Amino acid sequence: MNATGALGRYGEELAARLLTEAGMTVLARNWRYGRAGEIDIVARDGDTVVICEVKTRRAGTFEHPMEAVTPAKAERLRHLAGGWLERHGGVPSGGVRIDLVGVVVPARGAPLVEHVRGVA
């Protein structure tokens, strides 16, 4: 695995921990839907299925992780959410939500982890 891949996996691990500590249950990680792409984390928040995109950046890089969800990316996440629901029993009573976890890793010190609900 290259450095970028390792950084991404580290961010996903921090995100999964954050979601779990917030009371969610992680159902899947890195779930692939054919050629359409991959969902970083699928979780359950009560009766709601949460599709979670994780973006990890090193501190000082040009783009903040929260800026990474463009309209095209949001549309792809909605498509992937539909794929998950199709393969896992349809829309639950609490519906589906798309969240973003942004992770900024500084050169020193603890990473900053932000969770934003309902981004798309």
* Residues of the chain with confidence (pLDDT) below 50: none
Report the alpha-carbon distance of residue 80 to residue 66 in Å, rounded. 19
The domains of the chain are located at 3-63+72-109
In the CATH hierarchy, which fold is given to the domain comprising 3-63+72-109?
Answer: Trna Endonuclease; Chain: A, domain 1 (3.40.1350)
- Can you give the pLDDT at residue 86? 94
- Can you give the pLDDT at residue 60? 79
How do strand 48-58 and strand 96-105 relate by DSSP bridges? parallel
- Can you give the pLDDT at residue 62? 65
Structure-derived torsion over alpha carbons of residues 51, 11, 102, 62, reported in degrees to the nearest 10? -130
Report the alpha-carbon distance of residue 101 to residue 91 in Å, rounded. 23
- Can you give the pLDDT at residue 47? 96
- Can you give the pLDDT at residue 100? 95
- Can you give the pLDDT at residue 119? 86
- Can you give the pLDDT at residue 90? 92
